[in-house]
Amino acid sequence: MSSLSYVMHNKMARDRWLNYLLRLFLVILALFFAFFPIIWIISASFDQTGTLNTQRLIPRNAGLGNYDRLLSSDIHPFGRWMWNSIKVASITAFLTVLVSAISAYAFSRFRFRGRRSLMLTVFIVQVFPNSLTIVATFLLIQTIGRHVSWLGLNTHGGLILVYLGGALGINTWLMKGFFDSIPRDLDESARIDGASDWLIFWRIIIPLVRPVLAVVGILSFIGTYGDVIISLTLLKDKDVQTLAVGLNRFISDSFNREWGVFSAGALIGAIPIVVLILSFQRFFVSGLTEGAVKG
């Protein structure tokens, strides 16, 4: 009996080691797939040969030449592109959070005729991707620009208007689920004390939903900051283009020759996203999890 227990114990120990090694292998494999593109881009940004054909994981001619060409080029105004992206993404994120929060509060707290139908309509509209409406969007912004110049083509106002239209639906649904988890007793207590709906929204609801506000703001900023299709369609002048469209010039014009400069621009362009996520990481994680459970 003791020898059988010894054999079973060894088998269980061997199985645990095999499971541990398998999990370790899968983790290493996942990390490799996650970090290899980043390491490859970093290597390319310091490779002064600048070509994709000759690039190695460890650059033979390492230096800051690609960064110098990127920041000092008059043909490709990288600084202006990056500023345009930050400006457009920041304004879009702020307006998306503001309008989505007001809309979600109305759907969550008020009862009015056509409420469910309107919510369903908003949801159905979001099912269709923006790429299907790109031609209609172009014509619509062109028409608006004839009457309001700062909302037309080649303007950041028109681009922000399109981004807002595409982001409000899904973000309103996301915020509504979070708003529904807040007890209505808080609203009733505030009304007894004489607070209006607007005061309840700003003084009571908004402080409690900061995590989901951070989630919507971060996702909106990232989506707008990295968008290519819409901004490439609406912005044709080089001085008003965003970073994603500007970096697309390196790929379309001289992909192989400008590969190192493109990699340097991609790394510098990722800095605002990294800083934003690290700054609001606490709100971002809690906002994704707390709103999933009501009550």
Q: 118-122, 223-227, 283-287: lowest mean pLDDT where? A: 283-287
* Domain contains 115: yes
Give the Cα separation of 49 and 118 in Å (integer).
Answer: 57
* Domain contains 49: yes
Q: Which residue has the tokens 């919507």?
A: 216
246-266 per-position pLDDT tens digit: 888 777 766 557 788 888 899
Tell me the whole-structure pTM to 2 decimals.
0.84
Q: State which of 25, 46, 68 marks the end of a domain.
A: 68
Q: Are residues 165 and 189 in the same domain?
A: yes
- Of 26, 57, 25, 29, nearest to 44 by C-alpha is 57
Give the Cα separation of 84 and 75 in Å (integer).
Answer: 16
pLDDT band at 194 (very low <50, low <70, confident <90, very high): confident
Q: How crowded is residue 269: how many other Cβ atoms within 10 Å of its Cβ?
A: 21
* Domain contains 295: no
Give the Cα separation of 162 and 234 in Å (integer).
Answer: 10
Total number of domains constituting the chain? 2
Q: State residue 9's pLDDT score.
A: 65
Ramachandran region, residue 241 (left: φ > 0; alpha: ψ -120 to 50; beta: rest): beta
Question: Which stretches within 193-242 are classed as H helix?
Answer: 197-200, 206-208, 210-225, 229-234
Q: State residue 93's pLDDT score.
A: 94
* Domain contains 85: yes
Domain of residue 161, residue span = 76-290
Q: Are residues 39 and 139 in the same domain?
A: no
200-243 per-position pLDDT tens digit: 888 888 888 888 898 899 989 999 998 988 998 999 888 899 99
CATH number, residue 91: 1.10.3720.10
Mean pLDDT of 57-71: 83
Q: Are residues 21 and 87 in the same domain?
A: no
3-state class of 47 per DSSP?
A: strand
Q: Are residues 252 and 122 in the same domain?
A: yes
Give the Cα separation of 93 and 216 in Å (integer).
Answer: 8
Q: Fill in the amino acid letter for 290.
A: E
Q: Are residues 127 and 253 in the same domain?
A: yes
Q: Are residues 18 and 150 in the same domain?
A: no
* Domain contains 235: yes
DSSP string, 52-77: STT--SS-SSBSSHHHHHHHH-SSS-
Q: Are residues 22 and 86 in the same domain?
A: no
Q: Are residues 31 and 92 in the same domain?
A: no
Give the Cα separation of 181 and 169 in Å (integer).
Answer: 19
The angle subtended at Cα 275 by Cα 157 and Cα 245, nearest 5°, is 40
26-43 per-position pLDDT tens digit: 999 999 998 888 888 898
Give the Cα separation of 123 and 95 in Å (integer).
Answer: 20
Q: Are residues 192 and 46 in the same domain?
A: no
Q: Are residues 135 and 180 in the same domain?
A: yes
- Of 105, 120, 78, 59, nearest to 244 by C-alpha is 78
Cα 183 → chain centroid: 30
Q: Are residues 202 and 87 in the same domain?
A: yes
Q: State which of 68, 84, 104 marks the end of a domain.
A: 68
Q: State which of 45, 68, 91 marks the end of a domain.
A: 68
Q: Are residues 84 and 215 in the same domain?
A: yes
